[in-house]
Structure 1
């Protein structure tokens, strides 16, 4: 019973953490009426909770494996009680910055669930499970939508204090319904970091999540004030539109995870970054409200799908180091939400417009698209190499003139010749002498006419021992139909 409750409980935990995480940015239009915030520090105040919320994801992901999700979620919510109360009593920019730094714990809990939940489900469902857990992103939409309306009625300080009650409720829920017997993994953190840091896929996934989740957080932080200042919308209207962006991105996250379970995840990321590139270019031209809304929704859809797909990929490639890998990738995503608002603010201060910032986003998305395409084909090549090296049949590849270009480990096992000994030589070194010249002439005639030949043939190992092969030779052709190489596959059938 307790195990079945972990997915809904941890998803609700994430919703709660994310609701607390964006308190400052969601209520900034109200807070700025009572606390004077210089324009140069506005982006810093709203983005600062992302810093700790990103960096803490590595230790929280790691300790989720060591201590279990129950302990980490409870501890995180207890710690959040203090910055939430502190911010509700804030009277200066310094107070907001100090409280905001520790408010980042709410965003850091993301890495707990993506590390814990896959333990309860088979591998083919990890994409969907992490996607459902990612619905917890809706917590930012709940606060963005509801906090301004509550603040308009009772004031922003009282609205923030209401989050104390929410945190106390979830501390109790985790105490009673958290899994006390969650499987633990106690590999030292340094060993895990060493194990994953040399893998280039970790850093590529981190870059991709930096873009997808980073833009999700950045738009969440940046849209409320931008829509008010640039399009002249009312604060509540701007909050509702931002909540709509968050809701769309969140809704498509489990869809992205589900699609990642059904289809090639890297191929899905190619589509994601293609949409990103086009949408960011549209936003760069600062169109009217209709086109701007369409561009934002396109980014919301692709961000949601991309977020879900990436957390299908992480446990797929880093099963034994899932805690630390999830922490690093999700940290980079959080940092992706920290830098764009600051970058947009600096660019706006220097140029008086946001167009350059959006154009930079389009170029980063385009670069990511190129990297995903490269990774996709690298993966296919790696799969081909894995099949080539692990198959039990001997394989040799020659060029058009018959010189050996490649052999697999099974070739060495069956013939006794190493790859270094046969590269650049003719396959005739394997001849036993039992077949006549006419036999070989007939073989090659059939290959040229039909593209392949197969049959029994006596060959000789390096040690001189003769054995009977079942041999298949196929011609590999180019686009014009000309032979460019030949592939031979064989097995020892002497005993048969």
Structure 2
């Protein structure tokens, strides 16, 4: 296997190691609470804080990956994580857990390394699937959620935490020896990259989508272990198994989301995703039983997993030259999406005694995202149609039903000499050469009314007064009720094929 082909499995497994560390506090919180006295609010902060650095650092890490390569970023990050992991194992207070938790956020931040590096090795039509495969590295959270409670029950939570140092050292070594030393680099300053994209509304729409899809994944990952124990009186091991099931389903289905984004229109996939999240949020708001709660949670897992894979298909589609910084920003917003929900849920519970309002907020965010996706879908189709009209080699003129010009393209100006601002709002007689009789035009309109179509050659006049010969096709555009709302004329100059008129 060539060194380049090694990068996908190597970076994916490195992400597994990072994510195993990222969620260690939430996975072991039922055990940690037995030794360290924590309030409900403090538990929420301890489990949420790792998400902060894991989100904010995704922007510079995406940039650094482009500049220095994934080999060095993974190597340095994995070695750095050894220190906060060991500190957690000896922590004895809320403050100690907060400090260590902040720095293990690096384990989540390295996500933007792979989504920036790996697309360099594959054609665009495979970016969705490749990023989906890399996203399977999220399974590291499932391994911790499933395995950590079992090991902690046998050897204690402190020993369980220290065991994570082993995969960190192992994958740091593997990256040193097998990471690609010749990865293509991008050295554009970070400030310039941010300035080139921050005003693009599509960046913030994609960030919102990932805020919701990946944020839901992270939020449920850190929230479920303690919630299932306190709300449904499950054992720590049972809660860990159920959380691991949620994580595994969400993670393993992510490549499917990437593949669907490659195979079909990604906007249509996201419409289904946000419809599912909207309905599941409503179900979770009113589910009193563990069975209905499980159905709602697994629906979130499926929709989030597919959404996570699909969103990163759209990033290189819109930002082929700024992939590193955009991947970092979108990934950062996804991480932040996992920071706020646990805090909001604990606050809502302390005020109302239940979680319904918090889950309903998930539903409303998903509904808002659904509306935006639908708007982007139809907006992109319209923009594509406009680009086709604008760049076609033939002149195009659109009029309303009274013959007033409402749109023209560049070829119209090249043939007639009239700029768009000179033609818009004028009647089509602007081009009249005076060569044709009233009966000619009446015959044209009669055929348009009968067939909604007319085609033939006609003499028209340029801005400079020169008469030219054109081949013209006029089509009627119908509205939803079948009524004619516009006419589109497409023409080409055939003066060289006919004798001129003086």
> Under TM normalisation by the shorter chain, which class is it?
over 0.9
Aligned counterpart, 1:147: 148
* Residue pairs, 1:174-323, within 5 angstroms: 174-323=175-324
Rounded to whole Å, the distance in 2 between the matches of 1:235 and 1:286 is: 22
Aligned counterpart, 2:378: 377
For residues 75-95 of structure 1, the C-alpha deviation after alignment (integer angstroms, 9 at most, x for no partner) is 000100110111111111111
Give the Å deviation of 1:434. 3.1
Give the Å deviation of 1:374. 1.4
Aligned counterpart, 2:500: none
Aligned counterpart, 1:13: 14
Local SS of the residue matching 1:495 = helix
Rounded to whole Å, the distance in 1 between the matches of 2:356 and 2:402 is: 58
Distance 1:478-1:40 versus aligned 2 partners, 3 A rule: closer
Aligned counterpart, 1:456: 457
Rounded to whole Å, the distance in 2 between the matches of 1:51 and 1:484 is: 53
Structure 1 residue 335 and structure 2 residue 313: aligned? Answer: no
Runs of 4+, deviation exceeding 4 Å? none
Local SS of the residue matching 2:253 = helix
Rounded to whole Å, the distance in 1 between the matches of 2:493 and 2:144 is: 69
For residues 25-63 of structure 1, the C-alpha deviation after alignment (integer angstroms, 9 at most, x for no partner) is 111111111111122211000111000000000000000
Larger CA deviation: 57-66 vs 88-97: 88-97
Rounded to whole Å, the distance in 1 between the matches of 2:455 and 2:91 is: 82
Give the Å deviation of 1:438. 2.8
Rounded to whole Å, the distance in 2 between the matches of 1:338 and 1:481 is: 51
Unaligned regions of 5+ residues in structure 1, if any?
none
Aligned counterpart, 2:492: 491
Rounded to whole Å, the distance in 2 between the matches of 1:43 and 1:124 is: 41
Structure 1 residue 482 and structure 2 residue 477: aligned? Answer: no
Rounded to whole Å, the distance in 1 between the matches of 2:83 and 2:430 is: 78
Q: What TM-score, normalized by structure 2, do the two folds share?
A: 0.97
Rounded to whole Å, the distance in 2 between the matches of 1:241 and 1:219 is: 11
For the aligned residue pairs, the C-alpha RMSD in angstroms reads: 1.1
Structure 1 residue 473 and structure 2 residue 474: aligned? Answer: yes
Aligned counterpart, 1:426: 427
Distance 1:424-1:39 versus aligned 2 partners, 3 A rule: closer
* Residue pairs, 1:32-43, within 5 angstroms: 32-43=33-44
Give the Å deviation of 1:461. 1.1
Give the Å deviation of 1:357. 0.7
Give the Å deviation of 1:425. 1.8
Aligned counterpart, 1:67: 68
Rounded to whole Å, the distance in 1 between the matches of 2:341 and 2:144 is: 21
Rounded to whole Å, the distance in 2 between the matches of 1:484 and 1:315 is: 37
Rounded to whole Å, the distance in 2 between the matches of 1:481 and 1:286 is: 47
Q: What TM-score, normalized by structure 1, do the two folds share?
A: 0.98
